[in-house]
Structure 1
Amino acid sequence: MTLQARLKDAILAGLVAGVLALPLLGFETVDTGGPLGIKTRWHLVGYAAAGVFLGRLLLMALLDWRRGKVQAQATIQPGKRDRMAELGRKADTWLMPALIAFAVILPMMPFADRTVVDLGTVVLIYVMLGWGLNIVVGLAGLLDLGYVAFYAVGAYSYALLSKNFGLNFWECLPLAGLFAALFGVALGFPVLRLRGDYLAIVTLGFGEIIRIVLLNWQKLTGGPNGISGIQRPSFFGYPFSANPPEGTTSFHQLFGLEFASTHRIVFLYYLILALALLTNLFTQRIRKLPVGRAWEALREDEIACRALGINPTNTKLTAFAIGAMFGGFAGSFFATRQGFISPESFTFIESAVILAIVVLGGMGSQAGIVLAAAFLTLLPELAREFSLFRMLAFGLAMVLIMVWRPQGLLAHREPTMRLAKAGGGGP
């Protein structure tokens, strides 16, 4: 793009920003002791317009630079491209063990107080959700904007089973996953013929339907008041309590430790770490099975998938069901960790954040999802002191990442199988 075109585009963006900033920043009501007065702040409008002008100009220059870099990479010799892909594979190979090792030793680090372990638990919840959604979006190529519905089903399933039937966490966990998987199949049937944007709209509607049902079915879900007093998990029957009921041994008594409230926090951290690693292991294994290869074939080309004799109906349903199952597991853990759930915890913004984790991390990349989950979870916490600008910083960071790495932080899709060249000449 020429400099003249860039300037024209930036000036237009600045003018639009100035018009939008005029009612938002240009006027301020002040107390004059009688009727409210109006104070003008034209300098803020000018700053907003100038900032957007300069930002747009810089963004266009950055996009042109990126476009030139991509074109230059397209001319790289095939051998060099293969070496670059090999470097990407090696990075993904050594990065995951390093991240797992860091996660295991995190509670033992000198700086790991209760706040750090709690933040690590939240990050791992989103990692597990990202890995679950990665089955649907990254492997099967089905855009799902209602994934939070399965998260909610798992949480409410655990809460209701625990309160009404007295089941403990370990008994409720598989049932919560089963109920979420059934809801995944229920979502899969109506969308079998849909693709792309239409699929996204229907899944978005499904997520909102679940939230509205939870909000209005007060007899079952408690409505907007939610469900409180949810049973906390125990260490295989040994509660984390300073004064356990008579005849019951608590966790600290079992191991001869002094009671500390951090025992339960650390246990919850390692519990979600184990669930997340189980999700990762399952995903890596199932990719090599026929159903995993069918997901990847469906993602690349559904018509060719049909021509190969693969049943797209069963393939889509298995992707929705398995992805929803892991969302249900994460939801049950969320319910037992919080001790209280309400529909406010399962809004569309949660689905958007989980999808952003998958896209920013690199669709199909397990290690990339870990990095994106840590980034998108910790950024709002680090910007908490600037509470008025937290979402602005969040959105700006996402835009910058998508400009810098449009394919994701670790973007390389590796096929599960490669066809080797046939040796010898033809007939």
Structure 2
Amino acid sequence: MSDLVSESRLKASFKDSGIAALITLALSFMLIGMRTEISIGGLAVDYRWAAVAITVVVVFAGRMLLNMYVWRPETPRTVTFRTVLLGLSILAALVIFYLVDRFLGAVAGLSPARAIESNDWLWILLLLALAVVAAIVATALLGLAEKRAAPTGPGAAASIKAGLAPLGKWLPLALGLLAVAVPFILIEWLGSRGSRQYLDLAILVLTYIMLGWGLNIVVGLAGLLDLGYVAFYAVGAYSFALLSQYFGLGFWMCLPLAGILAACWGMILGYPVLRLRGDYLAIVTLAFGEIIRVILLNWYDFTGGPDGISGIPRPTLFGIEFDRGDDGFAALFGLQYSSIHRIIFLYYVILAMALVTNFVTMRLRRLPVGRAWEALREDEIACRSLGINTTNTKLSAFATGAMFGGFAGSFFATRQGFISPESFTFIESAVILAIVVLGGLGSQIGVVIAAVVMIGGFEFFRDLQEYRMLVFGLLMVIIMVWKPRGLISTRKPTIGLKRRTGISADMVQEGQG
């Protein structure tokens, strides 16, 4: 009987995967298979059928694995050794592809990524053969894991979780120490010149972590869907740029002003949308973000319009600048001048700002305003019936989240030295919101993991930049299948009893229990 069930499931899975592959072929035929390029005499069409074939094969194989090992009707949808092993095999395949691409590109001048772009069928067939072998090995390992996991039952997962519970207390401290030591580790391994790229990437990741924590207050804690968060990011950046341009103020003087101005714009946005919720609130916030961008683009005399603002001053260390002069940082501390000093300083500035954001957010969650945010997220009507002023609660959530977005925008302006409206488009809001959703609404550590994966991980696949959105969509599908509520879906209660207390029956009868 089990053989018949397995055979019917195999046929159904094969049919479903074939349908998904055909749909992918129809969608990717024009989107991926054809690309226009500038050539002599006009535009020319470049046909990339190899990329279409790889896309169809990946979708077919992924759908097949999901049908066979995840969406099984006779078993509950739980995270088992099989699903964990499946995810590890996919991650291992990506790592192997990256290592092969880098090794062959450095040694033999060959690259699978460039082979796909140039329709080199020999390399493509080799990659497909490797994918088939990896799928066979993964299937065998999954079958072995199924046999071994059967007698253990759910107690094994519970015991593993209980064993890892004490690590939760030391994990934030360990991550903090690692973050502090990152510049020195990179310089020791790669040198000053080689570590520049990775330090810039670390600064970018920390910026998005800070933005994710700021938006997490609005979306994760208060439950207000905001699609225009990039507007506060832009307000903070332009506030610092304009104050430095017209009044000659420095970064540390403009940093609190940028946060205050962004918070004011958060209240300006929050007041008209007090009665909106859900999709209607999302549309209004999206419109607000576009209004800010259009104003920055068209108010040429004040904001510079599409030309942007350049010459934004760099931050200083108690008035000490990072230049070659006799009063520069290197000369005062007896060091040999290197441009990496300013990059390290910027890294620690954004790290400190992100840690302050996390600390303030965690403290606010334990205050009455933080509990009011969570009550508003769960049920606004019940929140109002408890006597909570929902108007002030929404405005405080918008203002607090906008303030941290303004701080991040001010840092972005001083790091870049140049800003323009093109840096604050809707795609930035979408990326920040995706970081919050993928990490888990209301989860601080989830935002960190999602930002590292989305911002830092995509940089390693820059050679396949045209497929980055495809990978992004694949990650979204995987997260929505396995973890619909985000990577970190469980949150500790903001307030709770430290010990159980008994209540006598007399108090219960009197209505006091």
- 1:208 and 2:290 equivalent? yes
Letter in 2 for 1:15: L
Q: 1:260 to 1:35 in 2, by over 3 A?
A: closer
Contact 1:95 1:367 in 2 (8 A): no
- Equivalent residue number for residue 19 of structure 1: 26
- Equivalent residue number for residue 231 of structure 1: 313
- Equivalent residue number for residue 503 of structure 2: 423
- Report the TM-score when normalising by structure 2: 0.73
**1-structure distance, mates of 2:316, 2:41:** 62
Q: 1:239 to 1:403 in 2, by over 3 A?
A: same
Contact 2:262 2:402 in 1 (8 A): yes
Letter in 2 for 1:336: T
- Equivalent residue number for residue 191 of structure 1: 273
**1-structure distance, mates of 2:377, 2:265:** 22
- Equivalent residue number for residue 136 of structure 1: 218
- Equivalent residue number for residue 394 of structure 2: 316
Letter in 1 for 2:235: V
- 1:383 and 2:461 equivalent? yes
Q: Which runs of 5+ in 1 are unaligned?
A: 73-78
- Equivalent residue number for residue 489 of structure 2: 411
Moved more, 403-412 or 302-311: 403-412
**2-structure distance, mates of 1:7, 1:277:** 49
- 1:338 and 2:416 equivalent? yes
Letter in 2 for 1:69: R
* Equivalences for residues 252-291 of structure 1 within 5 A: 252-291=330-369
Q: 1:70 to 1:220 in 2, by over 3 A?
A: same
**2-structure distance, mates of 1:339, 1:41:** 39
Identity between Structure 1 and Structure 2 (%): 59
* Equivalences for residues 23-422 of structure 1 within 5 A: 23-24=30-31, 49=56, 51-65=58-72, 68-70=76-78, 92-109=168-185, 110-111=188-189, 113-243=195-325, 249-418=327-496
Q: Deviations 1:311-340 (Å, cap 9, x if unpaired)?
A: 111000000000000000000000000000
Contact 1:380 1:391 in 2 (8 A): no
Q: CA deviation at 1:399?
A: 2.7
Q: 1:238 to 1:38 in 2, by over 3 A?
A: closer
Higher relative CO (Cα under 8 Å, sequence separation at least 6) belongs to 1
Aligned to 2:422, the other structure's residue is in SS state helix
Letter in 1 for 2:65: L
**2-structure distance, mates of 1:29, 1:263:** 43
**2-structure distance, mates of 1:357, 1:29:** 32
**2-structure distance, mates of 1:164, 1:311:** 40
- Equivalent residue number for residue 127 of structure 2: none
Q: 1:134 to 1:235 in 2, by over 3 A?
A: same
**1-structure distance, mates of 2:169, 2:344:** 28
Contact 2:325 2:331 in 1 (8 A): no
Contact 2:202 2:456 in 1 (8 A): no
Contact 1:252 1:258 in 2 (8 A): yes
* Equivalences for residues 3-18 of structure 1 within 5 A: 3=9, 6-18=13-25
Q: 1:390 to 1:258 in 2, by over 3 A?
A: same
Aligned to 2:76, the other structure's residue is in SS state helix
Give the paired residue count: 417
**2-structure distance, mates of 1:212, 1:344:** 10
Q: 1:87 to 1:187 in 2, by over 3 A?
A: farther
Q: 1:105 to 1:40 in 2, by over 3 A?
A: closer
Q: Deviations 1:109-144 (Å, cap 9, x if unpaired)?
A: 123622222111111101111111111111111111
Contact 2:24 2:59 in 1 (8 A): yes
Q: Which runs of 5+ in 2 are unaligned?
A: 81-154
Contact 1:144 1:204 in 2 (8 A): yes
Contact 1:217 1:223 in 2 (8 A): yes
Moved more, 312-321 or 398-407: 398-407
Aligned to 1:373, the other structure's residue is in SS state helix
**2-structure distance, mates of 1:159, 1:259:** 28
Q: 1:84 to 1:310 in 2, by over 3 A?
A: farther
**2-structure distance, mates of 1:126, 1:55:** 30
Structure possessing the higher radius of gyration over alpha carbons: 2
Q: CA deviation at 1:108?
A: 1.3
**2-structure distance, mates of 1:271, 1:346:** 22
**2-structure distance, mates of 1:273, 1:290:** 28
Moved more, 62-71 or 313-322: 62-71
Contact 1:88 1:412 in 2 (8 A): no
Contact 2:267 2:395 in 1 (8 A): yes
**2-structure distance, mates of 1:156, 1:312:** 31
- Report the TM-score when normalising by structure 1: 0.87
Q: CA deviation at 1:164?
A: 0.8
Q: CA deviation at 1:390?
A: 2.7
Q: Deviations 1:24-52 (Å, cap 9, x if unpaired)?
A: 5677999xx99999999888766655553
Moved more, 392-401 or 357-366: 392-401
Q: Deviations 1:343-367 (Å, cap 9, x if unpaired)?
A: 1111111111111111111221111
